[in-house]
Amino acid sequence: MALLLRFVLLCGVADFTRSLSITTPEQMIEKAKGETAYLPCKFTLSPEDQGPLDIEWLLSPADNQKVDQVIILYSGDKIYDDYYQDLKGRVHFTSNDLKSGDASINVTNLRLSDIGTYQCKVKKAPGVGNKKIQLTVLVKPSGIRCYVDGSEEIGNDFKLKCEPKEGSLPLQYEWQKLSNSQKTPPSWSTDMTSPVISIKNASTEYSGTYSCTVTNRVGSDQCQLRLNVVPPSNRAGTIAGAVVGILLALVLIGFIVFCCRKKRREEKYEKEVHHDIREDVPPPKSRTSTARSYIGSNHSSLGSMSPSNMEGYSKTQYNQVPSEDFERTPQSPTLPPAKVAAPNLSRMGAVPVMIPAQSKDGSIV
């Protein structure tokens, strides 16, 4: 009876070991940003697994705020890899024959958003199996910048700094002096593995070329700097030159402001004077109209003249014509002087009369 029971137990264990199982252990994988991550998933089948083969990869994002996402699927002898938009075109099965027992995948061009837990599920009824893989994407140190913070003069205190632009923590620093002729001071030993080296009371022996290497779990990067410790400069002369330069700049600015204000005052004065002249000068008198009105009045009086009063008219009336209206030349160069037509006495009904002329001695000619 005991022998029979042992036989039954052995048969059950044999059947259990021959069922579908994933042989890849659960693990954690660390890769650098931009690289390719290989996520293994190998399985074995038993003779009892006769159903269709289905393979499914799921992603549980690291922020735990999103539900599990199907990133690639094999079902009905077809592959579907467009379920998850963030990984579209970047996830692929590594094997061309998935039925051979290899469901591993590659995730290319890794991003920080790819961090999370990936789960491989294999189903071939009645067998089912799954495994989880934790993927961490790290950033290599890059863009390392080495520089001197302070004045590189004898007796001064300054710092040598090493700063990476990016890089996942933890970061390790290592300083080296590349010049073999001189060694670093013993006091620097504790700073050679830190991002900053503090230098006190600098001397010329500190001069040389230094390198800083920054390393993390996925990569490293390096930078160099040249340190030249020189004698102190003439600070008094530098300060004096700066003061003189500032004074000259102030004088120049003051001169420009003075010229601008003077020009504005002159323009304002010219406008005021021009405005006053236009208001004080009366409009010009029309000389042509004055002469014409005077001659017209004389024309009207000639029609009633008789020979008896012509002599008196010739001596008095024509002497009263304003000389300035006839003698002055017109001021405008474009307008010719107005011509005054002689009165037509025959049309006016008057008899032409000869007016005797008088000589200088008083006799009539």
Per-residue pLDDT of the chain (365 residues; tens, 9 = 90+): 344 444 433 344 333 445 889 999 999 999 999 999 999 999 999 888 888 999 999 999 887 767 889 999 999 999 999 889 999 999 999 999 999 999 999 999 999 999 999 999 999 989 999 999 999 999 999 999 999 999 999 999 999 999 999 999 999 999 999 876 666 777 787 788 999 999 999 988 889 999 999 999 999 999 999 999 999 876 666 677 788 889 889 998 988 998 888 888 887 777 776 665 555 555 555 544 444 544 444 444 444 444 444 444 444 444 444 444 444 444 444 444 444 444 444 444 444 445 455 545 555 54
Peptide bond connecting 352 to the previous residue in cis, omega within 30 degrees of 0: no
How many Å apart are CA 326 and CA 50, to the nearest integer? Answer: 138
At residue 290's C-alpha, the angle toward residues 287 and 294, to 5°, is 145
Cα–chain-centroid distance for residue 309?
102
CATH code for the part of the protein at 142-227: 2.60.40.10
Beta strands 116-124 and 145-149 are unpaired
In CATH, 27-138 is 2.60.40.10: yes
User: Looking at residue 318, what is its pLDDT?
Assistant: 42
User: Looking at residue 188, what is its pLDDT?
Assistant: 81
Residue 240, token pair as written in the block: 């004096």
Coil, strand or helix: which one is 336? coil
- Work out the number of other CB atoms within 10 angstroms of the CB of residue 104: 17
- Residue among 66, 137, 131, 140 nearest 105 (CA): 131
User: Looking at residue 237, what is its pLDDT?
Assistant: 62
User: Looking at residue 241, what is its pLDDT?
Assistant: 78
For the chain, residues classed under CATH 2.60.40.10 are 27-138, 142-227
Give the HSE-up count for residue 120: Cα atoms under 13 Å, Cβ half-sphere: 25
Asked whether 154 and 230 are in contact (CB, 8 A), the reply is yes
**Cα-Cα end-to-end distance for the chain:** 194
